[in-house]
Amino acid sequence: MQVNEQFTPTIVAFCCNWCSYAGADLSGTNRLQYPANVKIIRVPCSCRVNPMFILRAFQRGADGVIICGCHPGDCHYTTGNYYARRRTTLLFSMLDYLGIERNRTRVEWVSAAEGAKFAATMNDFVAQITELGPNRRLEDLRCRK
């Protein structure tokens, strides 16, 4: 049994290649710290994030999932982030219904110029998940090591 004080959450961040992944790179270039338990997966666009990926992450033991894309209106593919926004709104309310707290999921718009915002967002999100504690609701115990 994990003790809550030493709990370090596993967080999966899906970042779009054009804005948020570049924003994450920028926070690195500027040496802006954020916790090491955030792991970034690069996707071409936030609209590439299939709700299945989010469910899978929770099943496999992720404690929080964040999706980052270009600001509305700035999508490299014109409309991709609008699709992401609608899909995630629906999915998050469904997850909420299933008992996955709303705060375990988040969508954030981070541009390629917002390295500071990326780091701040990740710090905030990690703090939020740490407070929530481990995800037990959807975790598939068969997947546990």
Partner 1 sequence: MQRIGVFVCHCGTNIAGTVDVKAVAEALGREPSVVTSVDYQYMCSESGQNLIKDAIRDYKLTGVVVCSCSPRMHENTFRKAAAAAGLNPYMVEIANIREQCSWIHKDVAEATEKAIILGRAAIAKVQLNAPLVAGESPVIKRALVIGGGIAGIQTALDIADAGFEVDIVEKQPTIGGKMTQLDKTFPTLDCAACILTPKMVECAQNELINIYSYSEVDAVSGFVGNFSVKIRKKARYVDETKCTGCGLCTEKCPQKKVPNEFNLGMDNRRAVYIPFAQAVPKVATIDADYCTMLKTGKCGVCSKVCTAGAINYKQTDEIVERQYGAIVVATGFNPIKVDKYDEYAYGQSKDVITSLEFERLTNAAGPTSGKLLRPSDGKHPHKIVFIQCVGSRCTPEKGKSYCSKICCMYTAKHAMLTREKYPDTEVYVFYIDVRTPGKNFDEFYRRATEEYGVHYIKGMVGKVSPKADGTLEVQASDLIMNEQLRIDADLVVLAAAIEPDKSARPLATMLTASMDTNDFFTEAHPKLRPVESPTAGIFLSGACQGPKDIPETVSQAGAAAAKVIGLLAKNKLTCNPCVAHSDELLCNGCSQCANVCPYGAITYIEKEFVMPDRSKKIRRVASVNPAVCQGCGACTVTCPSGAMDLHGFSNRQIMAEVDAICK
Q: Which of 57, 67, 68, 126 binds partner 1 (CB under 8 A)?
A: 57
Of 32, 117, 123, nearest to 71 (Cα)? Answer: 117
Cα–Cα distances (Å) from 89 to 30, 40, 48, 81, 107, in that order, read 32, 21, 15, 12, 9
Kindly state the smallest distance separating residue 103's Cβ from partner 1, in Å. Answer: 19
DSSP for 4-25?
A: GGG----EEEEEETTTHHHHHH
69 binds partner 1 (CB under 8 A): no
102 binds partner 1 (CB under 8 A): no
78 binds partner 1 (CB under 8 A): yes
Residue list 12-31, contact with partner 1 (CB under 8 A): 12, 17, 21-22, 24-29, 31
Kindly state the smallest distance separating residue 133's Cβ from partner 1, in Å. Answer: 17
Rounded to whole angstroms, how far apart are CA atoms 133 and 1?
12
Kindly state the smallest distance separating residue 10's Cβ from partner 1, in Å. Answer: 6
In the chain, DSSP assigns E strands to 11-16, 38-43, 64-69, 105-109
Q: Which amino acid is at 55?
A: L
Enumerate binding residues for partner 1 (CB under 8 A).
10, 12, 17, 21-22, 24-29, 31-34, 36-37, 39-45, 47-53, 56-57, 60-62, 73-74, 76-80, 83, 87, 119, 143, 145
